Structure 1
């Protein structure tokens, strides 16, 4: 592989060894060569010479996490060397291997990784979780992969999980700490959430997801060494939710509904339809401004709240008509909860009273019931309706995903709510199912 000037490289001390060997940092600058031991060790067979990082394809999750930690540490080394070089150049400090080593020692040899706290002063699980939520709320702890603040609604769910954990501790009469959260705890906690709290499957899954997030964060801070939560048995229960979409005919019923005497529902209807015809999330279609209308009034350009990505949505004539009605200054929404309440009222008024089969697992039992469709409609129905209707209309999946923001087709297809009956009727129009009849041999 071609090397470039001022490149930070990592090499093994003994590349042919069969036991763990040290990883060295190499850096050439001004005719000098820095060679520095990172203190990290790895078995050479697990080292990728091309990327100069540990391979992270192991089946064993604990081993895979170990190598991810090593790679993170090497990233820190590389970043620090580049930072030091910039600082040296700006301040005019003479470059030397000794100066580099002095600064690297200070950064990495005197507390490079979080030190374990003494058991006397160590935070308890509940103290840590309380701090974790507060830091997320204050913006001191960010979503690491996206470097963004946590959504306030997500933090409400975290608080609920914390309260459930405290209640479970009182229920069992046994203290809960980092060390005793194992597979047996997982089993009994899920059982309690199922039988005592009578939660639905996905709600239980969210409790476990939050718990796993806390344990992972606390482990990184050196508060515990328990990794039971990383095992396959410490799973997050889930099931497909009972969700519906509105087809074009149903959307037309809402679109043409006379609401001149009900300004509240008129505003709700217009906002909801914008979501149905654009695929935007509630957090985005409820905050649209005239500046979002671009390309001569033909496209909505929006930086999404959830992902921070920029999406461009072609405006249908109906979206244009709705925006014209509001002088191209879209109405602002009330809270998501209020909007959902009003949407059910709106959908009922539009006659969406067809009974829909709903099956969920609640309190450990599989329950099937029939619910009037308007009762299942929420702000998220808009986004699901957009994706499903565009898919049924033959819009290429990759183009729809550009708007919805789905990264994989597998995740996108979970969004598409097409019944078996609708699929069969659509397939009748395919050439394969429209073959001319032939005489059967006698």
Structure 2
């Protein structure tokens, strides 16, 4: 059970002293700075609040303490719903200093609000998402510095957007997909801030940039088998990376969920967990090759590694497994098509496992709605981006349905 109490740093002081929150749960006690101060003689210890009778200025302070309590409670409940407990770092990050310490001194700035948005996202356990928000903020700052353009709520209009996207395209050399992502994150932040009455601007809603469907790099069943068959030193970094990636191929889990597997998520031969990105609760039956990997992860024999490092290791694994089929990589910049042909191992990444799971599951006969249930996709539009049925699979199915043994033999 969660318990939150507020204590003064120096209860006998004659000057304002900091107020700390102490969060107790499951035998643990975490000290969290609130960023607030009060004269000890104005503190009502029994009521865990500042005295307001005859001291009207203490009303906002009590409001801030209430907000701190809510932030800590929400952080605890969110982690509990995901089957784990928050760390001290999570709880401390949940209390955004600028939010807790804000007083009626005027409107908050764009960057103060953005820092709060990032911190709350991180406190909710969405570390990777928070990192993408920080990257988006970096692009905004660099644009402002390079162009001499201010970044503020009421200045973000379609005209401002034209300058920003031109900067991302020509100076930052971003593809259309990356530009679309940066605009989407900005609009998501602006909407979040508007819902909290931090601004009343509406110009941001008209920011647009056409998104192009990304390349889908998936492995064939034969390429997955080639990875499985690699002779690697047991417990080495490549063996560890292979286990993580193969589990994604067997379950369709995203990287963020893959490295968050805990003992409480395993129910017999089924994984049941709440996804980090969409908060969908998914139940994934574990095939015979997947269950031992999950058990080794829970036992600590398989180590989580960063997304970037795993991507590097996968390319090394793909090269060793001779996954060298040529693939055409197509990118769009300002609507112009750029094409490059590379060996498939060069484009392998963490997300290739999830896409391979979807494609191979469909090829083996699982109905699309069942695969969507496992992966947590809510609609067909987002799901179909993961489908990359191979030419060989088309030929096999065509030969089977229309009884063409010669073609079937070739496809096999």
TM range (shorter): 0.5 to 0.7
Deviation at 1:316, TM superposition (A): 2.1
- Equivalent residue for 2:243? 270
Q: Structure 1 residues 310 and 223 mapped into 2: Cα distance closer, same or farther (>3 Å)?
A: closer
What secondary structure is seen at the aligned counterpart in 2 of 1:302?
strand
1:198 equivalent in alignment to 2:173: yes
User: Following the alignment from structure 2 to structure 1, what is the Cα–Cα distance between the partners of residues 201 and 113?
Assistant: 15
Q: Structure 1 residues 391 and 159 mapped into 2: Cα distance closer, same or farther (>3 Å)?
A: same
Q: Structure 1 residues 396 and 174 mapped into 2: Cα distance closer, same or farther (>3 Å)?
A: closer
User: Following the alignment from structure 1 to structure 2, what is the Cα–Cα distance between the partners of residues 265 and 389?
Assistant: 24
**Superposition pairs for residues 71-150 of structure 1, below 5 Å?**
121-137=106-122, 139=123, 149=124
Deviation at 1:351, TM superposition (A): 0.5
Deviation at 1:363, TM superposition (A): 6.6
Deviation at 1:176, TM superposition (A): 3.2
More helix by share: 2
Unaligned runs of 5+ residues in structure 1 are 1-116, 140-148, 435-442
Question: Would you say the 8 A contact 2:261–2:298 is kept in 1?
Answer: no
- Per-residue displacement from partner, 1:420-440 (whole Å, max 9, x unpaired)? x34642452364686xxxxxx
User: Following the alignment from structure 1 to structure 2, what is the Cα–Cα distance between the partners of residues 361 and 163?
Assistant: 23
- Equivalent residue for 1:366? 337
Question: Would you say the 8 A contact 1:288–1:330 is kept in 2?
Answer: no
Q: Structure 1 residues 393 and 209 mapped into 2: Cα distance closer, same or farther (>3 Å)?
A: same
**Superposition pairs for residues 35-434 of structure 1, below 5 Å?**
121-137=106-122, 139=123, 149=124, 151-231=126-206, 234-260=207-233, 263-295=236-268, 298-320=269-291, 322=293, 331-362=302-333, 365-419=336-390, 421-422=391-392, 424-426=394-396, 428-429=398-399, 431=401
**RMSD of the TM alignment (CA)?**
3.0
Q: Structure 1 residues 293 and 182 mapped into 2: Cα distance closer, same or farther (>3 Å)?
A: closer
- Equivalent residue for 2:16? none
Deviation at 1:329, TM superposition (A): 6.2
Deviation at 1:394, TM superposition (A): 1.3
User: Following the alignment from structure 2 to structure 1, what is the Cα–Cα distance between the partners of residues 246 and 339?
Assistant: 30
- Per-residue displacement from partner, 1:49-78 (whole Å, max 9, x unpaired)? xxxxxxxxxxxxxxxxxxxxxxxxxxxxxx
User: Following the alignment from structure 2 to structure 1, what is the Cα–Cα distance between the partners of residues 159 and 320?
Assistant: 50
User: Following the alignment from structure 1 to structure 2, what is the Cα–Cα distance between the partners of residues 324 and 130?
Assistant: 38
Deviation at 1:261, TM superposition (A): 6.7
User: Following the alignment from structure 2 to structure 1, what is the Cα–Cα distance between the partners of residues 149 and 280?
Assistant: 45
User: Following the alignment from structure 1 to structure 2, what is the Cα–Cα distance between the partners of residues 229 and 132?
Assistant: 17
Question: Would you say the 8 A contact 1:388–1:416 is kept in 2?
Answer: yes
What secondary structure is seen at the aligned counterpart in 1 of 2:204?
helix
- Per-residue displacement from partner, 1:368-427 (whole Å, max 9, x unpaired)? 0011111111111111111100011111111111110011122211111225x3464245
- Per-residue displacement from partner, 1:26-69 (whole Å, max 9, x unpaired)? xxxxxxxxxxxxxxxxxxxxxxxxxxxxxxxxxxxxxxxxxxxx
User: Following the alignment from structure 2 to structure 1, what is the Cα–Cα distance between the partners of residues 158 and 400?
Assistant: 51
Q: Structure 1 residues 393 and 219 mapped into 2: Cα distance closer, same or farther (>3 Å)?
A: same
Unaligned runs of 5+ residues in structure 2 are 1-102, 405-412
Q: Structure 1 residues 323 and 130 mapped into 2: Cα distance closer, same or farther (>3 Å)?
A: closer
Question: Would you say the 8 A contact 1:278–1:383 is kept in 2?
Answer: yes
State the aligned residue count.
303
Q: Structure 1 residues 425 and 207 mapped into 2: Cα distance closer, same or farther (>3 Å)?
A: same
What secondary structure is seen at the aligned counterpart in 2 of 1:411?
helix
Q: Structure 1 residues 407 and 123 mapped into 2: Cα distance closer, same or farther (>3 Å)?
A: same
User: Following the alignment from structure 1 to structure 2, what is the Cα–Cα distance between the partners of residues 159 and 324?
Assistant: 35
Deviation at 1:327, TM superposition (A): 9.8
What secondary structure is seen at the aligned counterpart in 2 of 1:169?
helix
In the superposition, the TM-score normalised over structure 1's length comes to 0.62
